Amino acid sequence: MTRQLSGSPFLKPFFLKTPVSPLRQRRHTLPASEFRNLTPQDAISVFEIEREAFVSVSGECPLTPDEVLNFLGQCPELSLGWFEEGQLVAFIIGSGWDKERLSQEAMTQHIPDTPTVHIHVLSVHRHCRQQGKGSILLWRYLQYLRCMPGLRRALLICEDFLVPFYLKAGFKEKGPSAISVSNMHFQELEYRLGGQAYARRNSGC
């Protein structure tokens, strides 16, 4: 609809526009839910979530601040963050590995152009736990890896109580890991990336 101002033949018609609410504008600039690769600029948020999640349970963080920065600088394409209204709520960090099983060196190294991804850490912000976000993020990450040429599998280590979570996501047990941290022992699991990525309906994202 157009409206013309009266009183001057030189004034052109203008379109009446419905005012946009601040909330709508905010959602346009900050998506309600966004998944993207992490960058070194996200390192502080990553470590804050990681520290709160792991130190309270085991007293150890899977990655130090320097290691977070290192992996996000070397292989950001092997990470995935879940952001809500611009805030990081969950993340996964991985790196490349070139051997059949994970060793202590895999904890700090990234080997480029390899068929294996080592998943170092999956963590969810304390205010967003018990909502299924870890499962959703892991599913999305694995489907994302399927689309990356040359990748064939993902490996990770975890404590015994987390094994059922990863088995439910499609991982298979490879047995006890050779890696130990502060007298903690782990199981090693593997996920085969064969096949095509597929769309998941009603994922809750």
174 falls within a domain: no
Q: Which residues contact 52 (CB under 8 A, 6 or more apart)?
A: 125, 126
11 falls within a domain: no
187 falls within a domain: no
186 falls within a domain: no
- Per the rule left: phi > 0, alpha: psi between -120 and 50, beta: everything else, 85 is left
Q: Return the pLDDT at 58.
A: 56
- Is the confidence at residue 109, as pLDDT, over 90? yes
**For residue range 65-108, what is the model confidence (pLDDT) as tens digits?**
999 999 999 999 999 999 999 999 999 999 999 999 999 999 99
> Which CATH number is 54's domain given?
3.40.630.30
Domain range spanning residue 133?
A: 33-155
Q: Where do we find the tokens 């990553």?
A: 46
Q: What is the mean predicted confidence (pLDDT) over 100-121? A: 97
10 falls within a domain: no
Strands (E), the chain: 2-3, 14-15, 34-36, 79-84, 87-97, 116-124, 153-158, 172-181, 184-192
Q: Return the pLDDT at 72.
A: 98
- Entry pTM: 0.79
Domains of the chain: total:
1
What mean pLDDT is reported for the chain? 83
200 falls within a domain: no
119 falls within a domain: yes
**CA 77 to centroid of chain Cα atoms:** 10
Give the rounded percent of residues in the chain with a pLDDT score beyond 70.
77
**Higher pLDDT residue, 12 or 147?**
147
CB 63 within 8 A of CB 106: no
State how far the Cα of 117 lies from the Cα of 148, in Å rounded to an integer: 11
192 falls within a domain: no
